[in-house]
Structure 1
């Protein structure tokens, strides 16, 4: 063999890891930019599971290393560390097993190498055995734990519900523009934590004159169930007023139109919101609850209710609600709010109690069972998280 050929072979051998790494990055980027159905015969389902779990496991291990900055104070006191460790170990085994099996079988090898690399990185950083000692409890935090739990729980729960009771059969999980809404989902989780901090500061520092201790004690003394129903009513009336203002005030509509620009309704669609709208709405809704003095248990229960309904009411779900549809906001009711049909414009504002819209005359009255199309009239909203955040400040006409 000539010296030239030996050098060429040596160069190929030396650059092989770099080419492999580039192929892994390119194929992973290509998958994340795609939409549509996953083909089980091509191992896309198992690959997606391995990639998702591998990424979440890596985030979880990092959260174990820095709990004072990456976990939510209200949640960290309720955790069982042993249960979390077992769950993390199980997820690592599933992600590692699926990705390694696909690599051995030569199925989507580059993507599964990326998934297995994340599993190895998580294990190298300590895996499920990261020690957690004492740490300060009042440091700034970003709630990475809540993001992991909510993403995992929402995906499993609502994807199953959508497959069992679909409104639009055949709609894929990875529908068009899912990447944009996933970015909204991630960023807005951290914005909610900021909203809670803002409300807490305003009530305890700027608006203490609004607080009446005797009245708060009376409200807190109401039994749990009626207090919760009252809490939801107060929150929904504040939500209704704020929501209606977004539609009727042109300047506010520029922010709210980001939320309405989604053209495919599913569990992820509700995540598309402008950050400033999210912060403003949460302040307007949560502030009355703090001022009126609803108990901590009731407020926590309300947060669970609003968290579930905010996702469920956007989901690709249809169920026979019967007379309940005139009382509670359901996916059928809220889908009409997102419709661009003429008889659906500026209707169905309520988030929890549908009877509020019927009482104020803003409920949809249509002979059609379901909307024909979704999105903003004129379809002027750009795609992409950053461009949608900048849209309210642009000169585009709405």
Structure 2
């Protein structure tokens, strides 16, 4: 048993491509699904503490039960086949044990009764759904249209980015509460009924364009300040320290930067009074672009890349090549950088290297959390 744990620890602490034909690829898939199923059954048992109130209203519990059921079947089936054929049995046994434990705890049949809606919570459900959706979609896209074909799924420093992914999802309740309080306290005076009524009467396409434009203008100048104000760069350098670009790299973000940026971006959205439907559509677009534009995909979109932010546009922003320093700030509309004179000008289509020049940001979530407060300029 101890030997199995040691092998699992070595696997989780390593990086590089998984060898095909040894049961490692299927075993990792089974283990990932088993872990998500186990976390899911905990969320079913304690929804008031482990699920996000804003998301609960949109859930179809019957659909979630079916997703969990088939995930358990798939994870358990893969694990069982690997055990029978002696393929990475230590990995398969761990996945099968988690599926069995999930089933013993009630699995997809756990009843969800009435519960209080004002309890403190962590966003376990948001973590499960986003990890499952992002990994299924973007790993597939990265393999279908790869920019760097030799970059494995488990590339160097993936553990650091995954730890950021976990924390930033789990504290979603704190972030939402803090940003809402700050927005209402700092910008509540600016809300005017007349302007809000005009915005709410806009056709949906016009309102959606306006909310993205307004948010991106704030995002642009906030982002630019992170690069040009030394105190703010201490926070933002953590995000730029990723030396590989993929769907997980965008998760590397200091929690203080997350709070500042979300507060400033949400402020005009609150002041202008956009409808819930428009805000929901904006959130979907933001979520997709935030992951896709960091992904390891060879996408440039021809002339459209001068209008909207693409992976090619944002990869340049993360480059430590000289011509890319302090360039390409926009999150949605690339024309803002061309308008303000901060777009990258290069004869090459893609950058060569990512990260910060000098590579002075330490690796590891805890070290990166402390870094802005202990960093000395070099």
TM-score, structure 1 normalization: 0.92
Q: Equivalent residue for 2:234?
A: 254
- State the shift of 1:167 in Å: 1.1
CA contact (8 A) 1:192 1:279 kept: no
Three-state SS of the structure 2 residue aligned to 1:68 is helix
Against the structure 1 CA distance between its residues 395 and 160, is the aligned structure 2 distance closer, same or farther, given a 3 Å change threshold? closer
* Partner of residue 64 from structure 2, selected from 79, 84, 92: 84
1:211 match: 191
C-alpha distance in 2, partners of 1:131/1:181? Answer: 35
Q: How many residues are paired up? A: 378
Question: How far 1:196 sits from its partner (Å)?
Answer: 2.2
Counterpart selection for 1:60 from 34, 40, 45: 40
Instruction: Give the secondary structure class of the aligned counterpart of 2:206.
Output: helix
Q: Which residue of 1 aligns with 2:125?
A: 145
SS in 1 for 2:155: coil
Query: Closer, same or farther in 2 for the Cα pair 1:206/1:324, shift >3 Å?
Result: closer
Partner of 2:314: 334
1:134 equivalent among 80, 89, 114: 114
Contact 2:30 2:79 in 1 (8 A): yes
Counterpart residue number, 1:180: 160
Indicate which of 154, 168, 184 corresponds to 2:134: 154
Deviations, residues 179-218 of structure 1 (Å, cap 9, x unaligned):
1100111111234443322232234455432211221111
Cα separation, 1, equivalents of 2:18 and 2:338: 42
In structure 1, stretches of 5+ residues that fail to align are 1-19
**Cα RMSD, aligned residues only:** 1.3
| Residue in structure 1 matched with residue 96 of structure 2 by the alignment | 116
The answer on whether the counterparts of 2:316 and 2:351 sit within 8 Å (CA) in structure 1 is yes
TM-score using structure 2 length: 0.97
2:286 is the counterpart of 1:319: no
Q: CA separation in 2, counterparts of 1:241 and 1:201?
A: 22
> CA–CA distance in 2 between the matches of 1:208 and 1:260?
33
The CA distance in 2 between the partners of 1:220 and 1:190, in whole Å, is 32
1:109 deviation in Å?
1.3
Alignment-derived partner of residue 43 in structure 1: 23
Give the corresponding residue for 1:24: 4
1:349 aligns with 2:329: yes
- Residue 366 of structure 2 aligns with which residue? 386
Answer with 1 or 2: which has the greater Rg. 1
Kept in 2, the 8 Å contact 1:24–1:113? The answer is no
Structure 1 pair 237/207, CA: closer, same or farther in 2 (3 Å)? closer
